[in-house]
Structure 1
Amino acid sequence: MSTSAPAAEDQPFDPKDFPKDLLAAQRALAELYAALHAHQARLPWSREADGGWPEEPERWHRRGRPETSGWETADAATYDRLWEDLRKTAEMVQGHEHWRQCKKHGVEGAALVAVRQALKIAKGAVPTPTDDPDFGQDNVEQAA
């Protein structure tokens, strides 16, 4: 008498059983967003050269900006490449076949939103401190 595991089609559909390629794409998306954010943080406030403007204290929403020579050509190219990679990766995540399978199995509306949110924190979809020896170094340096 053999006790083999049931075939995949005999198992009930689990919308949170994410395919490996979807997990990898979500992880790449998180990594690209972090890289873009880190890159932006070190750039001048304006891509183009600008003379800036003084702060207007009577208008709380009109903070001043210093003069800037704008971004270096290499910085602009890196920014543009990161944004393009981010868009393509987001398209891979959003258009993945898994979401069609969810709808096919009746996972729609708020339930589908919950599954999409679960992907963002699923194991394998999020970079962790053990993956990056510099993870959290900004916080450590700021606290010192």
Structure 2
Amino acid sequence: MSTPPPSPEQASAEDQKFDPHDFPQNLRDAQRRAAELYAEIRAAQKRLPWPREPHEGWPEVTERGRERAGREASPGWPSADAAAYDRLRAELLEVTAYVHTHGWWKTCRDNGVQGADLVAARQALKTAKGAVPLSREDVEQTA
């Protein structure tokens, strides 16, 4: 006894199975902006002195055979750099909140994507095409 072939309605429903990794463009754009902002913040942190506020630092200490690295004195961050950093951080918080609360995640849950599968979809967004500032293809084209 063989099973009958699926009806056209059943076949089209299977072809249109929900894909939680088919992210909407506005979600990809927001994730890309979040990655760009994070990179800008990291670059600023590397460029700026270690303390935001002026600090006299402390000497290196060796105590009971353990060394604790010292820190040099620092004038802190210039006010323009501190303001620029604060703007970047505020925008990053806004964009990441948008990504985390985007309606796509409710659509995923409504289509049965939950638990580890939903976490996997959220993680996949971080490397989705168009959601990262540079892809391997971008680097290869530049090289």
Q: State the TM-score, normalizing by the size of structure 2.
A: 0.81
Counterpart position of 1:39: 44
Other structure's SS at 1:81 match: helix
**Residue pairs, 1:1-144, within 5 angstroms:** 11-58=16-63, 59-60=66-67, 62-128=68-134, 130=138
Whole-Å Cα distance in 1 between the matches of residues 33 and 105 of structure 2?
18
Residues 88-111 of structure 1: per-residue CA shift (max 9 Å, x gap)? 000010000000011111111111
Other structure's SS at 1:121 match: coil
Residues 19-59 of structure 1: per-residue CA shift (max 9 Å, x gap)? 00000000000000000000111010001111000111334
Q: Any gaps of 5 or more consecutive residues in structure 2?
A: 1-11
Q: Any gaps of 5 or more consecutive residues in structure 1?
A: 1-6, 136-144
Shift of 1:12: 1.8
Shift of 1:11: 2.1
Task: List structure 1 segments (4+ residues) > 4 angstroms apart after TM superposition.
Answer: none
Shift of 1:128: 1.2
Normalized per residue, the structure richer in strand is 2
Shift of 1:63: 1.9
Which has the greater radius of gyration? 2
RMSD: 2.2
Other structure's SS at 1:37 match: helix
Q: State the TM-score, normalizing by the size of structure 1.
A: 0.80
**How many pairs are equivalent?**
125
